[in-house]
Amino acid sequence: MAWRYALMIDPAASDDTRTDFDSTFSEVDPSAPALTVGELSTQRGDGIFESIGVVDGHAQEVEAHLQRLAHSAEICELPAPHLGQWREAVRRAEAASGAGESVIKLILSRGVEHGPTPTAWVTVAPAADFTEARTSGIRVAVLDRGYSIDLPGRAPWLLLGAKTLSYAVNMAAIREAKRRGADDAVFVSSDGFVLEAPTASLVIRRGDTFVTPAPNGGILHGTTQLSLFEHLADRGFATAYETLPVSALYEADAAWLLSSVRLAAPITAVDDRPLAVDADLTASFNAYLLSPRD
Q: What residues line the site for ligand PLP (CB under 6 A)?
A: 51, 196, 198-201, 220, 222-225, 258-260
Question: 49: burial class by Cβ within 10 Å (0-12, 13-18, 19+)?
Answer: middle
Contacts of 89 (CB under 8 A, 6+ apart): 7, 9, 21, 25, 106, 122
Q: Which is nearer to ligand PLP, 12 or 203 (CB)?
A: 203
The least CB distance from residue 272 to ligand PLP, in Å, is 24
In the complex, the smallest distance separating the C-beta of residue 113 from ligand PLP, rounded to whole angstroms, is: 26
Measured from the CB atom, is 11 or 218 closer to ligand PLP?
218
Task: Give the β-pairing of 254-259 and 201-206.
Answer: antiparallel
Number of helices (H), then strands (E), belonging to the chain: the values are: 9, 14
Task: Give the residue with the Cβ less far from ligand PLP, 21 or 210.
Answer: 210
Residues 157/150/253/280 CA torsion (nearest 10 deg): -30
| Residue nearer to ligand PLP on the CB measure, 112 or 257 | 257
Complete DSSP assignment for 83-119: HHHHHHHHHHHHHTS-SSEEEEEEEEE--BTT-SS-E
CB of 146 to ligand PLP, least distance (A): 15
**How many CA atoms lie less than 13 Å away from 237 in the CB half-sphere?**
18
We find the least distance from the C-beta atom of residue 210 to ligand PLP, in angstroms, to be: 15
For ligand PLP, give the closer residue by CB, 13 or 233: 233
Q: What does the CA dihedral 112, 49, 196, 292 come to, rounded to 10 degrees?
A: -170
Least distance (Å) between residue 136 CB and ligand PLP:
21
